[in-house]
């Protein structure tokens, strides 16, 4: 049995109301998110596909990967996607000291700000702003860590739907079904632009974009 559900139950969303689980549900808009990049090959493949559907998304980047792959990071910004913070080294919140945890977020936020600034220097009138969006790795965050980040002005972005694309025991078709059968207006969907998730993510993302575009949905950044 899988303890983590594909679709987050209302009960869980209600227990943690200061975190964001959905976006407004009055319009046909879906909010795709990608965690753990930037990743060579995978992130650029994702950008090409999103561009072909005129879709925008939110990329929760790992600080260490932004440092390693600044050009890919700049490509995210140039394409007009939103950037979120996913810590510097992807620690598990429940077993990480809160100072260490918060410092990883601040260090990554500095890298995001620097990257956005660099891109702005290359493109005049570029509109990217720093969004202060944070997603905890593994969804693990203690109340103390959450409180401190909220006090620093971060929005803590959780999810409505997990594609389970990282799980290599499921098929690409199951991953597709996780999303297509359960997502709807205002859903925040988690995919990963990582090497591990790629075989499932590439298939399921393509199907998701096809399916929801056909049904008249738009894909927007979290703001």
For residue 63, state whether it binds Zn ion (rule: CB under 5 A). Answer: no
- Least separation in angstroms between CB 139 and Zn ion: 9
- CA pair distance 70, 149, nearest whole angstrom: 25
Based on the shown chain and the rule CB under 5 A, indicate whether residue 35 belongs to the binding site for Zn ion. yes
Among 137, 190, 201, 217, binds Zn ion (CB under 5 A): 137
Q: Which is nearer to Zn ion, 85 or 208 (CB)?
A: 85
Residue 193 near Zn ion by CB under 5 A: no
Verify whether residue 35 is a known catalytic residue.
Answer: yes
> In whole angstroms, what is the distance from residue 191 CA to residue 127 CA?
25
> 160, 165, 192, 193: which one is catalytic?
192
**How big is the CA angle at 54 (ends 32 and 67), to the nearest 5 degrees?**
60
Task: Say if CB 36 and CB 90 are below 8 A apart.
Answer: yes
* Distances from the Cα of 196 to the Cα of 79, 104, 131, 201, angstroms: 24, 23, 27, 9
For the record, the structure tokens of 8 come out as 């987050």
- C-alpha 146/C-alpha 158 separation (Å) is 12
Q: Which residue among 19, 22, 23, 36 contacts Zn ion (CB under 5 A)?
A: 36
Closest distance to Zn ion from the beta carbon of 60 (Å): 7
36 assigned to active site: no
Given the residues 35, 36, 165, 193, the one annotated as active site: 35
Binding site for Zn ion (CB under 5 A): 35-36, 137
Catalytic (active-site) positions: 35, 192
């Amino acid at each position: 049995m899988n303890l983590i559900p594909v679709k987050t139950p209302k009960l869980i969303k209600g227990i943690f109301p200061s975190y964001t689980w959905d976006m407004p549900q009055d319009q046909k808009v879906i909010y795709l998110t990608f965690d753990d990049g930037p990743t060579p090959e995978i992130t650029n493949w994702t950008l090409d596909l999103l561009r072909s559907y005129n879709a925008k998304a939110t990329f929760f980047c790992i600080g260490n990967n932004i440092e390693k792959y600044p050009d890919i990071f700049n490509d995210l910004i140039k394409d007009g996607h939103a950037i979120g913070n996913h810590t510097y080294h992807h620690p598990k919140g429940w077993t990480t000291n809160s100072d260490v945890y918060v410092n990883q977020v601040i260090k990554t936020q500095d890298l995001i700000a620097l990257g956005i600034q660099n891109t702005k220097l290359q493109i005049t009138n570029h509109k990217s702003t720093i969004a202060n969006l944070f997603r905890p790795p593994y969804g693990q965050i203690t109340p103390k860590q959450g409180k401190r980040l909220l006090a620093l002005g971060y929005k803590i972005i959780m999810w409505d739907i997990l594609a389970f694309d990282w799980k290599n025991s499921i098929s690409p078709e199951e991953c597709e079904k996780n999303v297509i059968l359960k997502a709807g207006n205002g859903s925040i969907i988690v995919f990963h632009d990582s090497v591990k998730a790629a075989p499932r993510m590439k298939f399921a993302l393509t199907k998701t974009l096809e399916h929801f575009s056909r049904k008249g949905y738009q894909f927007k950044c979290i703001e």
